[in-house]
Copies of this chain bind each other. A is one copy, B any other.
Amino acid sequence: MFKFIENGSITSVCGIKAAGIHSGLKRKRKDLALIFSEEPCNVAGTFTLNKVKAAPLLVSQELINKGGKVKAILINSGNANACTGDRGYADALKSQKHCAKKLGIRQDEVVISSTGVIGEYMPMHILKTGIDTIVNQLSDDGGIKAAKAIMTTDLVEKTFAVKVQLSSGEITIGGIAKGSGMIMPNMATMLSFIATDADIDNSLLKKLLLKCVQNSFNKISVDGDTSTNDMVVLMANGVSGIEIKENSKDEELFFEALQALTIEMAKMIVVDGEGASKLITVAITGCNNDEDANTIARTISNSPLVKTAIYGSDANWGRILSAVGRSGVEFEPEKVEIDFDDMSILGKDYKHDFDEEEATIVLSKDKITISVNLNAGKGNSTWWTCDFTEKYIEINATYRT
């Protein structure tokens, strides 16, 4: 039993403060966020699989893998501190140290994260002055400001929170995220910071996070590219006094709520994908196994031809079937059925006597589900993607300038 909190964010969680300010890394918009918990938090993280990893990501990955407790997460936008070599790594450590000092906590209690342009050194004087300022702005309702400060080409901030009724009381999970460009499968895929006031140990926290990320952030696609800086961090401060033990009914309840939260955050990232005008749910069923279904869902979700057809509200099922065909999965084409929402577009034996006008109406909506049934087995997988528009090109042809 869980329910979403209206306008909820990471600061909906008891004991979590946050802030978001303009420090000067960007020209005008907010560019520095801080999340803080007075109580030390257990913590889990997932990190980009890109071989090129940004300096702050390496620092935080090492820190979280060590398995201690943390109290703060410092995130800047405007500069990724990636491909910056030894100097970039030293800068990352310096910003972590400076933030810890200003908060009066240990350096290894600060997770750090950056997003923005690759290959430029961090202007440390700006960042340090920003840290000096932001530590004094932490507040119990700063979650939305923090969400705004981690945006790059995002158009809207992404914040969510849920309340979960457990056997011995109520706990809260809240988070902020950013996405937009370089969104891609099989990776941590973007930035997301989630907190809960439940009391969960590190190993269970990690298990729950990995499982949830697998079915949410790892099943979205905007353009098939992947960032050097992607990470998802989940922290638990235990302030509610409610402990969640492994293999309990409460674990199940918490998992359901965390999964719902991460799926909503993932979908929100797709909706706000660069240039996107439509959210496309790609639901694959009837495969020999889940892995096949996942491969097909990923191939369709990444196909420019499918994504441009949906943009044009064109019921071009041939492109969908063709994407299934090149996915590498074995199947019988004449058994495939394709629906757009509840409307049958392709039946067995290539039957497709649907009404084109009606299909155009379905495809003109801003949320569409493409269902593909291979009629072979019980394997299934659902992905979320967006359409491909001129706006994506415009944004990405001119990003640095």
Point out residues on A near B: beta carbons under 8 Å. 49-53, 80, 82-85, 117-119, 181-182, 184, 187, 223-228, 302-305, 308-309, 311-312, 314, 316-319, 321-327, 329-331, 333-334, 346, 349-350, 352, 388-390, 392-394, 396-401
Query: A326 to B226, Cβ gap below 8 A?
Result: yes
Report the Cα distance A126→B394, complex, angstroms: 43
Are A321 and B390 CB-contacts (below 8 A) given A305-B223, A305-B225, A309-B399?
A: no
Number of copies: 2
Contact of A84 among B181, B350, B390, B399 (CB under 8 A): B350
Across-interface contacts of A349 in B (CB, < 8 A): 85
Instruction: Closest B residue to A80 by CB, please name it.
Output: B318
Report the Cα distance A181→B322, complex, angstroms: 13
Contact of A118 among B52, B119, B322, B329 (CB under 8 A): B322
| Minimum Cβ distance to chain B for residue A118 (Å) | 3
15 example contacts (A-B, Cβ-Cβ < 8 A) are as follows A51-B324, A51-B325, A51-B327, A82-B318, A83-B350, A85-B350, A225-B326, A226-B326, A228-B325, A308-B397, A312-B398, A314-B400, A390-B390, A390-B393, A393-B393
Across-interface contacts of A226 in B (CB, < 8 A): 322, 325-326
Contact of A326 among B50, B394, B396, B399 (CB under 8 A): B50
| Minimum Cβ distance to chain B for residue A188 (Å) | 12
- In the A-B complex, the 8 residue pairs with the smallest Cβ-Cβ separation, listed nearest first, are A118-B318, A312-B397, A52-B325, A308-B396, A390-B390, A50-B325, A51-B325, A226-B326
Extra contacts besides A51-B330, A187-B326, A390-B393 (17): CB < 8 Å:
A51-B333, A52-B322, A80-B318, A83-B333, A83-B350, A84-B350, A119-B321, A223-B304, A224-B224, A225-B305, A226-B325, A228-B325, A308-B396, A312-B397, A314-B399, A389-B393, A390-B394
